Chains A and B, each alone.
Chain A
Amino acid sequence: MEKNQYLDLYHQMVLIRRIEERSAELYQQGKIGGFLHLYIGQEAVSTGLISVRRPEDRVITAYRDHGVAINCGIPAKQVMAELLGKATGCSKGKGGSMHMADVEKNFWGGHAIVGSHLPIAAGLALGDQYRGLNNVTICMFGDGATNIGFFHEAFNLSKVWDLPVLWVCENNQYGMGTSVERASAVPEIRQKAEGYNMRNARIDGMDLITVRDASLEALEYVRKNGPMLLEIVTYRYRGHSMGDPERYRDSGEIKKWQETDPIGIYRKYLSEKEIASLEEMNEIDTQVDHEVDEAVQFAESSPEPELDELFRDIYVEA
């Protein structure tokens, strides 16, 4: 990688974290409504993963989607505008936090019904395979989603039909307040792929470089051979969504994970390898602050959708 590529990845992670922190504030001020699921702690996962996709590779994920949206190339402004329900948002203010998408960026959405997008991902890949295209569909989902039937049907189908899907489980240890041990019969999610005779790997999701290397290898495998599961072990620092009483874990556990903070690890990596100085990174931090301010300003000054918008896009044909 070139130096600027290393720094771009740093920029992405910091941008996502600041956007999320600002979103939490805007939620508290009542400017964002509905459910808000923050990605803080998990930044390295989609940053590393999506940095190695080809533009023609598709991405689809669940409702914890702001970071994924940004990594797919949706400008922070449009993400913020969507959070505020504005006409300039990536889903015209009609989707909100859980339903960001930008088809031109090959980002096929945040999806709010747990696991429901897994069969859809198999279908994206089926469409591509059917037409003889060489794209991979990257489907991201949580650990909790692997306990719903959708997951198993999609895994089986993708394997029997050799569909080019890279299944990526963001194992952040919990589905809402239920830990993996309490909800899943197997302690490692990757074991579930074994039952479908599918190649799998389990990697550290707090280390950006590990994620990036493993993702690159996995994508090339899928492109040639069909589906694979990558389990990426990570942690969310904040509650499941805003207003989570967090009775299921203690603050010591969160602190322990924060010792392996993805941004902290990467800063250390860049400076120890003498790829970038702390000053250079701090400069990026300042730049990100401006970017986030601009995004919020853009969103706040953007118009609300017209009332007529309610009746638009219900059907393709009038």
Chain B
Amino acid sequence: MARITMREAISQALWEEMERDENVFIMGQEVGVWGGTYAVTKGFYDHFGGRRVRDTPISEAAIVGAGVGAAMVGVRPVSELMTINFAFVAMDHIVNQAAKIHAMFGGQMRVPLVIRAVGGGGRQLGATHSQTPDAIFAHFPGLKVVAPGTPHDAKGLLKAAIRSDDPVLFIEHATLYQMRGEVPEEDYVEQIGKSKVQREGDDVTIVTYSKGLELSLRAADELSSQGIEVEIIDLRSLRPLDMEPVIASFKKTNRAVVVEEGWRSFGVGSEVASRIYENAFDYVDAPIKRVAQKEVPLPYNRRLEQHALVQMEDIVQAVKEVTYG
């Protein structure tokens, strides 16, 4: 096992998949000569050349749309969106095309496309550049939505995404790139659509993913020192959404808090909570709590932005509320 950053894990997954399969190529803004604005594809251009590491114009609809088309004829593009906020420019191709084409033509065509997108707030980038709109993409059948919270999962899930015959939106949280974690030296692939227990505990179930995992793990340490043991389930993908480990955990703890960075309304927490109520109503000991971003466009000012975002303390408090502690 090596301890590497999330950035390195994602970079390695891309590199190894490109080495493994000549059909895999990357296209996006500044992925080549610049080396990726988050340095994920640093060194790729020199090694793989401009045919496989393609700098594009600022044309999100074409970056995704041409990715859809190329995927349909059998190559495996990884289309990169510099940030997920620009996915809205490419929304038709994500939602009306990538997610529909396999079903709409009776299974004749496939779209083995990966769309990598950097998301998340907390860097003072203002309202249009700080969003965590993960949940809305999970609304659409036909699209897979993956959002890892550890280097290990990022590497294994990105490989799975590239090998998948379905379109996958792969969301990377900008403030997790420096996070370190253990990653196996040998080739491995994780399965998309499997939630994972990231910490065991008997008192409260925390359901989360991506940035929420980092915050929840910190909250868990704090709570443990106060005598409350939480179990943390990392969803890892929002669609498919694997509720099995969540329900199993809830049946043990009877209390749950769902933590996400995005807005609460119509969010991941709403979905997870209603599925728990639907599937384990008899086990409910306290109303399920949702911890999420305040319902405002994120401001530039640092203090205000942090006030709007989920903090570790918010999770601690929510856990205490469901334990009536």
Contact = CB atoms under 8 A, between A and B. Distances in A.
A34 B294 CA distance: 20
Nearest to A306: B304
A183 B30 contact: no
B34 A247 contact: yes
B80 to A, nearest CB: 13
A93 interface: yes
Interface of A: 33-35, 85-86, 91, 93-99, 112-116, 144-145, 147-150, 175-178, 182-184, 245, 247-248, 304-305, 307, 309-311, 314
B37 interface: yes
Contacts of B58: 114-115, 144-145, 147-148, 175, 183
A132 B303 CA distance: 44
Interface string B284-319: 000000000011110111111001100000000000
A149 B33 contact: no
A113 B85 contact: yes
A147 B57 contact: yes
B149 to A, nearest CB: 24
B59 interface: yes
B55 interface: yes
Contacts of B301: 85-86, 93-94, 96, 304-305
User: What size tier do the contact residues of chain B reach?
Assistant: 35 or more
Interface of B: 29-30, 33-35, 37, 55-61, 85-86, 89, 123-129, 294-297, 299-304, 307-308
Nearest to A114: B58
Contact of A34 (B30, B34, B61, B300): B300
A175 B55 CA distance: 11
B299 A310 contact: yes
B307 A34 contact: no
Contact of B34 (A116, A144, A176): A176
A207 B58 CA distance: 28
Q: Which 9 A-B pairs have the closest CB atoms?
A: A96-B300, A147-B57, A33-B124, A34-B124, A85-B301, A94-B299, A183-B57, A177-B34, A93-B301
18 contacts: A33-B124, A34-B124, A93-B304, A95-B299, A96-B300, A99-B127, A112-B126, A113-B85, A113-B86, A148-B59, A175-B57, A175-B58, A248-B33, A248-B34, A305-B303, A310-B296, A310-B307, A314-B297
B123 A184 contact: no
Nearest to A241: B37
A86 B304 CA distance: 11
Contact of A112 (B34, B56, B129, B304): B129
B29 A176 contact: yes
A34 B57 contact: no
B304 A176 contact: no
Contact of A99 (B55, B61, B126): B126
B123 A307 contact: no
Given A34-B124, A99-B300, A307 B29 contact: no
A113 to B, nearest CB: 5
Contacts of A304: 301, 303
The majority secondary structure among interface residues of chain A is loop
Contacts of B307: 307, 310
Contacts of A248: 33-34
Given A112-B126, A310-B294, A33 B61 contact: no
B305 to A, nearest CB: 9
B55 A178 contact: yes
B308 to A, nearest CB: 6
Nearest to A147: B57
A85 B124 contact: yes
Contacts of B295: 314
Contacts of A183: 55-58
Contacts of B294: 310-311
Given A85-B124, A98-B126, A148 B304 contact: no
A64 B125 CA distance: 14
Contacts of A145: 58
Given A33-B124, A113-B128, A176 B300 contact: no
Given A148-B59, A176-B34, A247-B34, A310 B308 contact: yes
B124 A96 contact: yes
A307 B304 contact: yes
Given A34-B125, A178-B29, A304-B303, 18 more contacts: A33-B124, A33-B300, A85-B301, A94-B126, A94-B300, A112-B128, A112-B129, A147-B58, A148-B59, A149-B59, A176-B30, A177-B55, A182-B55, A183-B55, A183-B57, A304-B301, A309-B304, A314-B295
Contacts of B126: 34, 94-96, 98-99, 112
A104 to B, nearest CB: 21
B299 A113 contact: no
Nearest to A307: B307
